[in-house]
């Protein structure tokens, strides 16, 4: 078999964990052709984002403190593995942030350059851990295997056909030579060779892209949980593992924040019917979750309860909009042009309004954009926002044709006294989602889990 294996940040958080991953890889590589995709060390992407901001504001004390921590973690791992690959990269990063701090401005492009070091540093370390296990391997960056994107820095879109072709070509020789390629997740490059990143949680996406390019038999995503669960175990301690799940359900779960997955992470695999397995590095013999569309699949109505915390709700009201075709398109277009991702949209006929949920950090920008464009032109009369709301979603593809599911959802909320601010149900009947106050979120998730998935 040909297997693409992706290891998340928690799996490669330090040298010891990298060695654990290397052992897991070695076992599989004895029988199969394996390609490894690696994330940055746990928390490193956050650290690098903060570093870029410190550089952009020429905040030297913060910059130095961050740099010190980044050096420390990588040098510690490097020393423990007897590797010598990190110092030149860290020096390069030093120079880069110094340059940014001298200009005193961080751009999306230079931020991507900084953030890319997380994966650029972890890949040679994991390669070294493999070497210690006696596994022949070679480290590559996304750029080196031919993963190319557009120039939307921070959330660059892969140029899919070209990338698939180039990746297959680049990995052919190492695989034929019996090597295990270790490829950086999350980072890529434009066609002109400028480093880009493909969006938070993007290593999972890198893995399925490589899987598609190689026509892999399976893609395995190794993390610190046994697989996809009926809820986030940090909120619902009784959450259970989902052993098998359909792609559409898993994709919907990803959209609502399960496993901090990149929203498009499963697409390349789903389109080509490549099964995706989610497994736990710290419980490798566990079955994990198998995402697949064939065979016998459970028919529970609700498979998972999820929450997007720290969202913002915007209510746009004004009779002028009523009955005007294209209003929703206009609003989504305005936000889209600003790179604002609308997570839920609700059209209310009776109130002549539209409600939108966006990620908390984008709320202020979304509000400003809509006010500037819709109020002045008279297209809307009022724009109100609610901060710190949570989007709750129940997901399951067998909801279709099961009347009464929505009733059960809202009765459960009523019993707990949770006030619902807005409701949306996709026409695919794959999920029901609604908005509550942020502080009510965890309670709502627990109540729904109890109602549909047991105590
Ligand atoms: P990695 O670093 O391996 O990519 P992530 O942090 O991206 O890992 O995702 C794993 C985390 O996702 C888990 O630690 C878990 O707390 C969280 N999570 C949230 N919802 C779910 C869910 N429904 N099923 C599994 N994990 C979930
Ligand atoms: N390191 C990147 C992030 O934290 C990509 C990933 O881990 O999937 O978003
Ligand atoms: Mg992740």
Considering every ligand atom shown, identify the ligand nearest to the alpha carbon of residue 42 and give its number: 1
**Ligand 2 atom with the shortest distance to the CA of 118:** 1
How would you class 376 by CB atoms within 10 Å of its CB: exposed for 0-12, middle for 13-18, buried for 19 or more?
exposed
Question: Which-ligand-closest: CA of 258?
Answer: 1
% of the chain with per-residue pLDDT over 70? 97
Which pLDDT does position 295 carry in this prediction?
Answer: 72
More confident call, 377 vs 364 = 364
**DSSP states along 136-197:** -EEEE-TTTTT-EE-S-TTSPPB-HHHHHHHHHHHHHHHHHTT-EEEEESSEEEETTS-EEE
Closest among 117, 114, 118 to 53, alpha carbons compared = 114
Q: Given the CA of residue 39, which atom of ligand 2 is nearest to it?
A: 7
DSSP readout, 42-53? TTHHHHHHHHHH
Of all protein residues, the one whose alpha carbon is nearest to atom 7 of ligand 1 is 260
pLDDT tens-digit series, residues 280-330? 999 999 999 999 998 777 778 899 999 999 999 999 987 666 666 677 888
Task: Give the ligand 1 atom nearest the CA of 10.
Answer: 2
Q: Give 125-144 pLDDT, tens digit per residue.
A: 999 999 999 999 999 999 99
Ligand 3 centroid to 321 CA: how many Å? 40
Rounded mean pLDDT of 48-67?
97
Q: Are 289 and 243 in contact, with CB atoms under 8 Å apart?
A: yes
Q: Is the CB of 275 under 6 A from ligand 2?
A: no
What percent of the chain has pLDDT above 90? 80
Cα 232 to middle of ligand 1, angstroms: 7
Compute, in angstroms, the gap from residue 403 CA to the centroid of ligand 3.
35
Record the tokens describing residue 295, joined without a space: 């065979």
Q: Whose CA is nearest to atom 11 of ligand 1?
A: 259
- Confidence (pLDDT) at 71: 98
398 lines ligand 2 (CB under 6 A): no
Which is more confident, 403 or 241? 241
Average pLDDT, the chain: 93
Ligand 2 contact, 353 CB (< 6 A): no
End-to-end CA distance of the chain: give it in Å, rounded. Answer: 39
Measure the CA–CA gap between 420 and 437, rounded to whole angstroms.
Answer: 8
Of 123, 197, 200, best ligand 2 pocket probe by most atoms within 8 Å of the beta carbon: 200
- pLDDT at 300 (0 to 100): 83
Ligand 2 atom having least distance to the Cα of 205: 8
* pLDDT computed for residue 214 by the predictor: 98
In 127-150, which positions are buried (b, 16+ CB within 10 angstroms) versus exposed (e)?
A: bbbbebbebebbbbbbbebbbbbe
Question: Do residues 241 and 226 lie in contact, with contact meaning Cβ atoms separated by under 8 Å?
Answer: yes
Which protein residues are within 6 Å of ligand 1, measured from CB? 8-11, 39, 201, 223-225, 228-229, 231-234, 258-260, 304
Across the range 235-253, mean pLDDT stands at 93
> Is the per-residue pLDDT at 351 higher than 60?
no
Q: Which two tokens stand for residue 162?
A: 């070209």
Closest ligand by atom to 120 CA: 2
């Amino acid at each position: 078999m040909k297997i693409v294996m992706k290891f998340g940040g928690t799996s490669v958080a330090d040298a010891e964990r990298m060695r654990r991953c290397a052992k897991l890889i070695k076992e599989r590589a004895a029988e199969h052709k394996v390609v490894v995709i690696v994330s940055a060390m746990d928390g490193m992407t956050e650290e690098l984002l903060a570093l870029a901001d410190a550089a952009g504001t020429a905040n030297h004390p913060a910059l130095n403190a961050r740099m010190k921590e980044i050096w420390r973690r990588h040098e510690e791992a490097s020393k423990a593995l007897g590797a010598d690959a990190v110092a030149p990269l860290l020096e390069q990063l030093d120079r880069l942030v110094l340059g940014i701090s001298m200009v005193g401005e961080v751009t999306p492009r230079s931020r991507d350059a900084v953030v890319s070091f997380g994966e650029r540093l972890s890949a040679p370390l994991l390669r070294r851990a493999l070497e210690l296990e006696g596994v022949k391997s070679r480290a590559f960056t996304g750029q080196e295997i031919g993963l190319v994107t557009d120039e939307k820095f921070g959330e660059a879109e892969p140029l899919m056909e070209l990338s698939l072709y180039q990746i297959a070509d680049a990995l052919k020789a190492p695989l034929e030579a019996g090597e295990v390629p270790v490829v950086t997740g999350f980072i890529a490059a434009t066609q002109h060779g400028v480093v880009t990143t493909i969006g938070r949680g993007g290593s999972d996406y890198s893995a399925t892209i490589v899987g598609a390019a190689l026509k892999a038999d399976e893609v395995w995503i190794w993390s610190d949980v046994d697989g996809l669960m009926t809820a986030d175990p940090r909120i619902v301690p009784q959450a259970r593992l989902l052993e098998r799940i359909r792609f559409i359900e898993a994709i919907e779960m990803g959209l609502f924040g399960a496993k901090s997955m990149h929203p498009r992470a499963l697409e390349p695999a789903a389109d080509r019917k490549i099964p995706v397995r989610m497994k736990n590095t710290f419980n490798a013999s566990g079955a994990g979750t198998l995402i697949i569309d064939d065979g016998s699949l459970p028919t529970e109505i609700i498979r998972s309860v999820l929450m997007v915390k720290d969202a913002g709700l915007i209510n746009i009201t004004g009779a002028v909009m009523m009955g005007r075709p294209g209003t929703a398109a206009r609003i989504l277009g305005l936000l889209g042009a600003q790179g604002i991702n609308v997570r839920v949209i609700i059209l209310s006929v009776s109130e002549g309004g539209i409600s939108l949920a966006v990620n908390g950090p984008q709320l202020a920008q979304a509000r400003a954009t809509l006010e500037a464009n819709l109020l002045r032109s008279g297209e809307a009369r009022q724009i109100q926002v609610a901060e710190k709301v949570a989007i709750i979603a129940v997901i399951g593809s067998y909801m279709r044709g099961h009347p009464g599911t929505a009733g059960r959802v809202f009765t459960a909320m009523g019993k707990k006294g949770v006030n619902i601010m807005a409701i949306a149900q996709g026409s695919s009947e794959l999920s029901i989602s609604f908005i509550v106050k942020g502080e009510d979120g965890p309670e709502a998730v627990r109540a729904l889990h109890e109602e549909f998935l047991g105590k």
